[in-house]
């Protein structure tokens, strides 16, 4: 049963694809007879590559097939409801469409880099970047989407980020030539995701490529203003339209003579198709050529040289705002007038004269030093009861006799959150907004 009946696809889209693909067009149409691929990306902050097989075996049965353009991505079986696995609550993985893993994987990021993810919600690419960068400012113009972005960054256990909900032009006015690397995964018509989300077809009929192109060019020009000399900018969309892809890049190059397309590393480029319209350095992902949905990538470099924005040993400062304590990367400059949702890790807050650690702290590497712990095996039914917000009973084998106060609850030694010991019970402090229903 096909995911999408090709007869429901817009005529203008089919006409453009026939012109774009020529003799590959029929093969492209046949790809709609297959269901969209699903992916899971392991969190390298928590899962070392040598442990991949062990972790994946606990999440789903069957072969473990790698997504070739990223070192920590695997194809997820259709029947696996991974979002209801305790390891998801522990931040061990992120569920992401395989092609959507490509932008952050091809942007050449290192631990000295200050990185901007300009259109970052819901956070898949931002969490990927945080594990490789010195610092990431993750922005989305929508405050609602930015809150979802923040939740995903906190779940991943990262502490080297800030989240803002700003217009790109406003950011550009206060962060000129500030970032070493920038990712612009631009709003688009979504042609490449028709198979994954057929509802996008109706929105495409209302707003097609020609309407998105001016917005994409505007966002890109703002991004270039924030890019340091010698820095790299990755422009990506999940559309096939040359209007939104190569045309947008071509117009950008007319505006800036110090910006140039550059080749993506061959070890990743080998899986993609080259760009069209003379921009051979760009890459296209077609569903009839790989196991993933449609995507476009173009890596750009700004002429010149500039020092990296961070050292490879990131320093932090603690800041108390009212009753809350934050741990903030020292290399990031906060600016008044910018709508930040978070500028570092929320450590905890003072309540009635007593300091309580936060849920983001529990999931971060800092909680490794927290002494009082309850470790539960994955098979222990108390894991699910904890995630459902229930009070759980303690046993003698838990080794917590005589302990009191806050306790870090873990599954297979991976933190899930906090509880409070009260005799032979653990009162549940799992956040109400995250409780499993």
- For 174, the domain range is 1-34+97-369
pLDDT at 303 over 90: yes
| 253 and 176 assigned to the same domain | yes
Q: Is the domain of 328 the same as that of 409?
A: no
Report yes or no on 57 lying in a domain: no
Average pLDDT, the chain: 95
Kindly tell me if the per-residue pLDDT of 67 is higher than 80.
Answer: yes
Q: Is residue 86 part of a domain?
A: no
Could you tell me if residue 42 is inside a domain?
no
Share of residues in the chain with pLDDT > 70 (%): 99
Q: What token pair was written down for 203?
A: 């929105």
Residues 293, 437: one domain? no
Kindly tell me if the per-residue pLDDT of 53 is higher than 60.
yes
In-domain check, residue 70: no
Contact 175, 226 (CB under 8 A): yes
Q: Interior CA angle at 224 toward 220 and 228, to 5°? A: 150
Residues 116 and 203 in one domain: yes
Mean pLDDT is highest, among 4-8, 61-65, 327-331, for 61-65
Round the CA-based radius of gyration of the chain to a whole number and report it.
Answer: 23
In a domain, 41, yes or no: no
pLDDT band at 309 (very low <50, low <70, confident <90, very high): confident
Domain stops at, among 369, 397, 423:
369
The residue-averaged pLDDT of 293-304 equals: 98
Reported pTM: 0.96
Question: Of the candidates 369, 387, 418, which is a domain's last residue?
Answer: 369
Quote the tokens at residue 216.
Answer: 């994409």
Number of neighbours of residue 321 by Cβ within 10 angstroms: 10
Q: Closest Cα to residue 196, out of 97, 297, 288, 76?
A: 97
Q: Residue 185: is its pLDDT beyond 70?
A: yes
- Domain check: are 326 and 281 in the same one? yes
**Would residue 58 count as lying in a domain?**
no
How confident is residue 1, by pLDDT bands cut at 50, 70 and 90? very low
Do 350 and 380 share a domain, yes or no? no
In sequence order, the 6+-apart residues with CB closer than 8 A to the CB of 378 are 58, 86, 87, 411, 412
pLDDT tens across 25-42, in order? 999 999 999 999 999 999
Q: Which of 369, 387, 417 is the last residue of a domain?
A: 369
What's the pLDDT tens digit per position in 248-290? 999 999 999 999 999 999 999 999 999 999 999 999 999 999 9
Q: Is 281:235 a contact under the CB 8 Å cutoff? A: no
The CATH number for 118's domain is 3.40.50.150
Q: Is 190 helix (H, G, I), strand (E, B) or coil?
A: coil
Does residue 2 register a pLDDT over 60? no
Q: Is 119 a catalytic residue?
A: no
Is residue 251 located within the same domain as residue 163?
yes
Could you tell me if 203 and 186 lie in one domain? yes
Average pLDDT over residues 131-136: 94
Same domain, 304 and 377: no
Is 274 among the domain residues? yes
Side-by-side strand order, sheet with 373-376: 373-376, 405-411, 414-422, 425-428, 392-393
Q: Are 417 and 411 in contact (CB under 8 A)?
A: no
One domain for residues 122 and 23: yes
Mark whether 353 and 397 lie in a shared domain. Answer: no
Q: Do 299 and 388 fall within a single domain?
A: no
Residue of 119, 130, 188, 238 with catalytic role: 238
Is pLDDT of 352 > 90?
no
Structurally, the chain folds into a number of domains equal to 2
pLDDT tens-digit readout, 365-398: 999 999 999 999 999 999 999 999 999 999 999 9
> Which CATH number fits the domain that encloses residue 423?
3.10.450.720
In a domain, 27, yes or no: yes
Is residue 311 over pLDDT 80? no
Exposed, middle or buried: residue 18 (CB in 10 Å: 0-12, 13-18, 19+)?
middle
Please determine, for residue 3, whether its predicted confidence score (pLDDT) is greater than 70: no
pLDDT, position 313 = 78
């Amino acid at each position: 049963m096909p995911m999408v009946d090709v007869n429901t696809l817009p005529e203008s889209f089919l006409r453009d694809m026939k012109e774009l693909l020529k003799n590959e067009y029929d093969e492209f149409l046949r790809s709609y007879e297959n269901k969209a691929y699903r992916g899971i990306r392991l969190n390298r902050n928590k899962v070392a590559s040598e442990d991949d097989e062990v972790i994946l075996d606990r999440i789903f049965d069957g072969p473990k097939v790698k997504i070739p353009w990223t070192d920590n991505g695997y194809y997820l079986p259709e029947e696996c409801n991974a979002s209801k696995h305790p390891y998801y609550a522990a931040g061990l993985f992120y569920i992401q469409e395989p092609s959507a893993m490509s932008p952050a994987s091809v942007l050449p990021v290192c631990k000295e880099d200050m990185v901007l993810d300009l259109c970052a919600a819901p956070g898949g690419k931002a969490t990927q970047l945080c594990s490789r960068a010195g610092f990431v400012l993750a922005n989305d113009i929508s405050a609602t989407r930015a809150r979802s972005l923040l939740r995903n960054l906190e779940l991943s256990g990262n502490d080297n980020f800030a989240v803002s909900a700003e217009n790109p032009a406003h950011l550009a006015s206060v962060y000129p030539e500030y970032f070493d690397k920038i990712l612009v995964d631009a709003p688009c018509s979504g042609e490449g995701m028709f198979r994954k989300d057929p509802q996008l077809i109706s929105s495409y009929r209302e707003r097609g490529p020609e309407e998105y192109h001016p917005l994409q060019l505007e966002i890109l020009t703002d991004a270039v203003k924030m890019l340091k000399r010698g820095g790299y900018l990755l422009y990506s969309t999940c559309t096939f339209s040359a209007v939104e892809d190569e045309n947008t890049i071509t117009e950008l190059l007319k505006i800036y003579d110090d910006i140039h397309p550059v080749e993506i590393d061959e070890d990743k480029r080998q899986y993609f198709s080259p760009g069209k319209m003379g921009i051979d350095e760009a890459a296209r992902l077609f569903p009839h050529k790989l196991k993933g949905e449609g995507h476009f990538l173009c890596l750009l470099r700004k002429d010149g040289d500039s020092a990296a924005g961070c050292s490879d040993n990131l320093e932090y400062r603690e800041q108390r705002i009212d009753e809350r304590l934050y741990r903030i990367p020292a290399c990031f400059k906060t600016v008044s007038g910018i709508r930040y949702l978070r500028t570092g890790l929320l450590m905890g807050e003072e309540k009635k004269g007593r300091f309580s650690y936060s849920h983001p702290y529990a999931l971060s590497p800092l909680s490794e030093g927290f002494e009082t712990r309850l470790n539960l095996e994955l098979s222990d039914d108390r894991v699910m009861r904890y995630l459902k917000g229930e009070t759980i009973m303690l046993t003698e084998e838990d080794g917590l006799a005589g302990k009191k106060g806050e306790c870090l609850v873990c599954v297979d030694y991976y933190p899930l959150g906090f509880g409070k010991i009260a005799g032979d019970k653990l009162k549940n402090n799992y956040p109400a907004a995250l409780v499993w229903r």
